[in-house]
Amino acid sequence: MDAVLTAVIDIDATPEEVWNVLTDFATYGEWSNFSAAEGTAHVGSRLTMRMPGMTFRPTVTVATTGQELQWTGTLGTKRLFHGRHSFVLSPNHDGTTRLTNREEFSGTLVTLTRRLLRTPKHDGYATFNNGLKQRVEGLTDSTR
């Protein structure tokens, strides 16, 4: 059974400006709910993502500059737990960028964790989006 979590936010910056912060993994610990992230935004590269109590190593599957970043990861096998995380950047008519942060989960463990994934206290996706927005807008304000 599958589960999908999505958080959307508009950021007062161009897709390229958002992309530059989104893919600067070395600075995630300064502004995001990840305590650390390592790697590069290139298809096929492995990332190391650290959050309190958890480390995972997804593989980048899509990296289209200014448009989309996607990675996938498994726990055990795909049948047990598989996640596909994507960030889609869409330009708005007013010069801002809409960020859609989406995670799709599948596998046997999803059934056991479904309630946990949907609780407000685990809404790390909105928290991540807000941190990204503040970081990008702070950087673009200082250069405008």
11-50: pLDDT as tens digits: 999 999 999 999 999 999 999 987 789 999 999 999 998 8
How do strand 54-56 and strand 36-38 relate by DSSP bridges?
Answer: unpaired
Section 61-88 average pLDDT: 85
Q: Is the pLDDT of residue 107 over 70?
A: no
Structure tokens that stand for 101 in this block: 């942060």
81-103: pLDDT as tens digits: 678 899 999 999 999 999 999 98
Is-contact 8 98, C-beta < 8 A? Answer: yes
pLDDT for 121 equals 44
- Per-residue burial over 36-51, b if 16 or more Cβ lie within 10 Å, else e, is ebebebeeeeebebee
Go through the domains of the chain in sequence order and give each one's CATH number.
3-143 (3.30.530.20)
